[in-house]
Amino acid sequence: MGDKTKIDWCDSTWNPVTGCYHDCQYCYARNIAHRFSGGGENWTDDKIIVLDERKYDEFEENRALAYPYGFKPTLHRYKLDEYATKKGRNIFVCSMADLFGNWVPDSWLDEVFEACEKAPQHNYLFLTKNPKRYIDYDVSCDRNKWYGTSICKNTDMKKCEHLPLRANKFISIEPILECLDIISSPIINWVDWVIVGAETGRRKDKVIPQRKWIEDIVNECKANEKPVFMKSSLADIWGEPLIQKFPRELKHKED
């Protein structure tokens, strides 16, 4: 992924690991990876792949072949130092993967976290559907690391109990697929930031959220004095202006 991002709650994305074996129907990353794979998914039977260098610099018409093995989990080792010398920013780590999927070896996590340690000027935002791995791997709870989990349905809310106790924590309610019983749940009080967004793309069974679903979340955030960030995908449902608040620790000086 490029330096700047279209993901509006971070400054940049960084993808030293790409690919995922979850099977979310609404996944945008899978489509992108297949589009820029050149059909390479079938080039190996390996379940996980390590690339020490970008082997395929160019594809037809000079288009970069960024995901030579499609959506198969891949460590792009040559990307580990991508932000080492860049100015401090909020970085979403692995927008094209689930870095904490059970198929990701501890050694890959070691390499990603070592790269984070070498560039402490940044804030790192991790997001997973499998937060139990945060605990199993025993992630470091430094002030510049943020650990999130995705919630789409009521059944996902229980996963929040695996967010590391002493760390900065957030939830990404995206895509919201049903009305969440958020008022009966302690999770808003438990986390430090809430992101909410609607499904994008043109999936046949795409879910368009009702305004009331969003209002419940916003009201609960207000009641608990927690910042909420609405993604631009909510503009048609909520109208302008969207509420786009950041935790104090992630705000830029000029904000």
End-to-end CA distance of the chain: 26
Minimum CB–partner distance for residue 215 and ligand SF4 (Å): 25
Nearer to ligand SF4 by Cβ, of 18 and 123: the residue is 18
Smallest separation (angstroms) from ligand SF4 to the CB of 44: 20
- How far apart CA 76 and CA 52 sit, in angstroms, is 6
* β 228-230/193-196 pair status: parallel
Which one, 123 or 150, has the nearer CB to ligand SF4? 150
Sign, Cα dihedral of 111, 109, 104, 107? positive
- State the minimum distance, in angstroms, from the CB of residue 139 to ligand SF4: 18
CB of 149 vs ligand SF4, minimal distance in Å: 11
Chain-centroid distance of CA 215 in Å reads 23
User: What is the SS3 assignment for 222-244?
Assistant: HHCCCCEEECHHHHHHHCCCCCE
Q: Are 191 and 171 in contact (CB under 8 A)?
A: yes
Rounded Cα distance between 179 and 214, Å, is 8
CB of 29 to ligand SF4, least distance (A): 4
Identify which of residues 94 and 228 has a Cβ nearer to ligand SF4 in the complex. Answer: 94
- Prior bond of 241 cis (ω within 30°): yes
Q: Which is nearer to ligand SF4, 54 or 129 (CB)?
A: 129
What is the contact surface with ligand SF4 in residues (CB under 6 A)?
20, 22, 24, 27, 29-30, 97-98, 129
Cβ nearer to ligand SF4, comparing 27 with 50 = 27
